[in-house]
Structure formats: C-alpha cells, structure tokens
Amino acid sequence: MPNIAIIGGTGLTQLAGLTLTEQKLVETPYGEPSAPIKIGQLAGQQLAFLARHGDPHQLAPHQVNYRANVFALKTLGVKAIYAVNAVGAIKTTMPPAHVVIPDQIIDYSYGREHTFFADERAVEHIDFTYPYSDTLRQALLVAADKAGVQCTDGGVYGCTQGPRLETKAEIDKLERDGVDIVGMTGMPEAALAREVGIEYASLALVVNMAAGRSQGVITMDDIEQALEDGMGKVLTILTHAIT
C-alpha cells in the first residue's frame, strides 16, 4: 500500500501521469470518501490519489466528507498527504497561476464535521500551532526550485465556507486578520490529518485575485484559464516532491 497520497481539488480530479494499478472504494465509519481512491505509480513511486470533490467534480466544499476521505487514506497506510488547493489571492504579489506553499491557517468555515474525537471516541486536544508538516513543505519548496517554478514560501490560508465567493468587505476583513490566500477546502482536512497522525501540506494554486483586488467581477472563465495555466506547475512540483 502507498505511503504518500495526493488529494486533488478544483481542476485536479485526475492525476496526469499516474499509471493506475487499482481503485479502492474504502468503507469507513464516517461514510464513503468523495471518490474511489486510485492507486498507482507516478515517477516510479507508488501513491494514492483522491479527488476531493468527486470524479467528476460534483461536491461543493461544505459537502465534502473530509472525515471519510482522511480516514480512508489512513486505512490504506498513507503517512503523508500533499493537498492541492485552488485559492484566491489577496496580495498582488500572488497573481493568477502563481503557486503558494502556506504555513498557517485561519478557519472561518462552520457546520462541518471537523474532528474524529466525537461520538464514542475519547476527546484529544491536538497541538495545531503549526498546521502543516515542515518536512512536506520543505519537500515542495525544494521540488519547486528543482523544477524552476517560482512560488511563495509561507502565507496564511483563510478557509471560508463557500460555495459562493466572498464579498469585498469580507476580503477586507480577512486581510486585516492577516490572511494572504482564500480557499474553501483547507479545513477541516488539515486538522483531521493531524488527528490521525498523517503528515500534511498544502500546494495552493492561485486561480483569481480575491474580491475587490482586481478590476471587474470574478468569472469562471478567468478561473478556468488560471487553472489551465497553473496546473502544469502543480503537477511538475508534485512529481519532483514525491521522488
């Protein structure tokens, strides 16, 4: 079974270059994962791949069964997760198609099943001072350098509820809070991984400037163009990182 998993977000429902050997639909005490977990070889390394929003993309961020996804990967023996997140950027230094390796999170989501320590399990208060694995973050940064991909080292990921995008006033507030990039899927995924002892890091691809940070409104055409322009960078970094 693979030690490494990639969780793909918007724009990454399938992993190019993955030589598929099997698919597993893992049953968990928390329900079914978003999609069958694909197991195969990428750059000579065995890994698991899970499409966070389903394949095809059909689950909104608040509908994702994060507990089932993480627990299923844990069941398969995964010890490290590289999570791909599509985000909006507040800072002008992070334009569309730019890659960010965040080092902090602020959680603004609500109503999501956010812990395994509920129901019959004894409560445990995990340390979450540094939400991302430094080992995996460094692997991504080294991989980006080897691949010649410019990226931002560090940044605060603000996780909003979605599925709507934010208002300008909300983005202004997030900026005052110290947020650099805004997404909808960073939590509770990162905390759940910490609860079950899986190393976890985010590879965030900027797909739009946040509300009020660019001229005009945000369109899906612009987001899809940024995904097309930037996803090659993401795949290149991941390929280098897992090797």
State the Cα angle at 112 between 155 and 96, rounded to 5°.
Answer: 35
**pTM of whole model > 0.85?**
yes
Q: What is the pLDDT averaged over residues 13-34?
A: 80
210 is in an annotated binding site: yes
223 versus 122: the higher-pLDDT residue is 223
Q: What is the pLDDT averaged over residues 171-177?
A: 98
Please tell me the predicted confidence (pLDDT) of residue 109.
97
10 is in an annotated binding site: yes
209 is in an annotated binding site: yes
Domains of the chain: 4-242 (3.40.50.1580)
1 is in an annotated binding site: no
Please tell me the predicted confidence (pLDDT) of residue 120.
61
Q: What is the pLDDT averaged over residues 44-60?
A: 88
| % of the chain exceeding 90 in pLDDT | 69
Query: Cβ atoms within 10 A of the Cβ of 207, count?
Result: 29
Least confident residue range of 8-17, 109-118, 224-233: 8-17
β-pair partners for 38: 23, 49
Residues 114 and 188: beta-carbon distance below 8 Å:
yes
Give the chain's mean pLDDT.
91
23 versus 158: the higher-pLDDT residue is 158
10 versus 98: the higher-pLDDT residue is 98
Rounded Cα distance between 87 and 27, Å, is: 30
Q: What is the pLDDT averaged over residues 172-198?
A: 97
236 is in an annotated binding site: no
Please tell me the predicted confidence (pLDDT) of residue 45.
84
State the Cα angle at 28 between 27 and 30, rounded to 5°.
Answer: 130
Is 80 exceeded by the pLDDT of residue 140?
yes
208 is in an annotated binding site: yes
